[in-house]
Chains A and B, each alone.
Chain A
Amino acid sequence: GAGVSQSPSNKVTEKGKDVELRCDPISGHTALYWYRQSLGQGLEFLIYFQGNSAPDKSGLPSDRFSAERTGGSVSTLTIQRTQQEDSAVYLCASSLWTGNQETQYFGPGTRLLVL
C-alpha cells in the first residue's frame, strides 16, 4: 500500500511481558517518528529517526522502551517488562522534508492493552 502501515493493530499482553510493535513507513520517507496517545491525552513524542543521524530518543519514558530502524526503512518499537501504564495507542509517522517543510503521514496505530 501507499500509506504507513503498523502491526499488530491490537495487542493484549500481560504485565511483565515484552512486546514489539512494527512500523512500515512510506517508501522514500527519510524521517520516522513514534508517538503514543494514552486515553484522553494528546500525542506524546517518543523517538525520531532522520536518515543516518543518531535517533532523538528524548521522549522515551523509561529504559524499558527502545526502538530501531533497520536499513532506513522498517522500525520496531520494543517495550520490555510491560506495565499497565504502558497501555495506549502507539502511532508511527513518516515524513519527507522539502526544505524546512515537513508533513508527517501517520499509520493507523497499534492499540496496546497491558493487563
Chain B
Amino acid sequence: DQQVKQNSPSLSVQEGRISILNCDYTNSMFDYFLWYKKYPAEGPTFLISISSIKDKNEDGRFTVFLNKSAKHLSLHIVPSQPGDSAVYFCAAKGAQKLVFGQGTRLTINP
C-alpha cells in the first residue's frame, strides 16, 4: 500500500523556468510533509517542510504548496538552476514514522 506517491519518475525543465514536482498521499492522518533532495552517491538532504495547518511555505527559490482536500502537495522551484538536477523525494508523517514517495528525477537543461 503506497501511502505517498510521486507519479512522475522523471521531469525535464529548461534552466530559468519553473520546476513543479508533485506528490499525492492517501492517509488523512498525515499532518507534516517534507521534501528531500538526493544527489548521486549521497544521502538525501532535507529541503523544505510544511505543517498541515499551512497551505504554503516558501524558502528562497523553493515553495511547497499543500492542498489537504485533494491530499496533494507540490514543490515549486523558480528559477530552476542546473544544480537543482537531482532526485526529489516527498515524505509525509502522522503519529508514526515518515513515509517516503518513490522519487522524481529532475533534470535542468541549460
Contact: B89 with A104, CB < 8 Å?
no
Q: A42-B102, A100-B31, A100-B32 are in contact. Are A33 and B44 (CB under 8 A)?
A: no
Q: Find chain A residues with CB under 8 A from B49 CB.
A: 101, 103
Tell me if A115 counts as interface (CB < 8 A to partner B).
no
CA distance A45 to B97 in the complex (A): 10
Among A43, A103, A109, the residue within 8 A (CB) of B100 is A43
Contact B32 A91 (CB under 8 A): no
Which residue of chain A has its CB nearest to the CB of B51? A101
Q: Bound complex: CA of A101 vs CA of B97, how far in Å?
A: 11
Residues in B with CB closer than 8 Å to A103 are: 34, 46, 49
Cβ–Cβ contact A106 & B97, under 8 A: no
**Interchain CB contact under 8 A, A105 and B46:** yes
Chain B residues contacting A14 (CB-CB under 8 Å) are: none
Q: How far is the CA of A42 from the CA of B98 in the complex (A)?
A: 14
A42 touches B103 (CB 8 A): yes
Asked if A108 lies at the interface with its beta carbon under 8 angstroms from chain B, I say yes
Measured CB to CB, the residues of B under 8 A from A are 6, 31-32, 34, 36, 41-46, 49, 51, 89, 91, 93, 95-103
A-B contact pairs, 5 of them (CB 8 A): A4-B43, A42-B6, A93-B44, A102-B93, A104-B91
